[in-house]
Amino acid sequence: MTLASATWRAAVVGRWTARIVGTLMALFFLAFLVGEGPPPISRLRLQEGFEFLGMAGLFLGLLLAWKWERCGGLVTVASFAFLSAINWRLGPELIFLIPAAAGGLHILCGWRIASGPVSGPAWEVPRAALRILGAVVGAFVLLSANEIFGNPPLMTPALRPSADMVGSWCGEGRFPSRPGEQVALLISADGEVSGRVGDTALTGGRIGNNRSWFGNLMNWREPYEIRGKGFTAGAAIRGREMRAFIRFAGSPIGFGWGLTLRKQ
């Protein structure tokens, strides 16, 4: 097999890999919009609006690539670069890295295929290989959807708080409109949580595991979640320090406040 023939076959395989991965990721994004509802555009800050625009372009490019392969791939890669520039924390997230990689694959494979076919008999990707690839990617997307939509996700073990978690946690909230707001949480041995954010009481809370084995493997979500009356908070605990992100009912998607607490 010549080098030209090998690169041609690799480009054909890459094209179909990018198409399958890209379509499933785009459907995953649409399912998220349906499940969570579109963000309240009028209530988003300018940066949040740009972030949503970048996300939409990221997945829209993957669908355009079916018709205009290199153009769609370029839209996806450019949207990923824009999204990373707006909020650098989003760049390393796997949910954005995968479609960005698919977009880059579309560009490379589209360029190779457009340069002309090799001489010799025509070659296509075996259908069995496409079915296997589709099944593997489909399983990944289903597991990912379970991690995002499940509260908690399936296969998430029940939590019995350890002695290191039980007790009083205090600190300040990083609230733009209320800097230095005092925060206090009390975690009981049975998993119940109560406390205050400034003058606002937090009641009816319980702490539990927030991810399954798949979430732990992919390092998605915070390890724990506190759910109470009118609020939720993802939390990560390391030693005597807790970092949490609290969101109150009625807030826009993704809008909340960061907390840094220490055990007393």
204: left (phi over 0), alpha (psi -120 to 50) or beta: left
Q: Of 146, 55, 67, which Cα lies nearest the Cα of 100? A: 55
* Region 84-96 average pLDDT: 75
Checking if the pLDDT of 215 tops 50, the result is yes
Q: Which fold is adopted by the domain 167-263?
A: Lipocalin (2.40.128)
Q: What is the mean pLDDT of the chain?
A: 78
Cα of first residue to Cα of last residue in the chain, in angstroms, is 69
Cα gap 28→48, rounded to integer Å: 20
Instruction: Tell me the pLDDT tens digit for each residue of 222-260.
Output: 888 888 888 888 888 888 888 888 877 765 444 567 778
Domain with CATH 2.40.128 in the chain: 167-263
pTM: 0.54
* Region 49-58 average pLDDT: 81
The owner of tokens 């009390």 is 186
Residue 71 · residue 64 · CB < 8 Å: yes
* Region 51-72 average pLDDT: 86
Reported confidence tier of residue 42, pLDDT bands at 50, 70, 90: low
Q: Of 160, 239, 141, 153, which Cα lies nearest the Cα of 206? A: 160
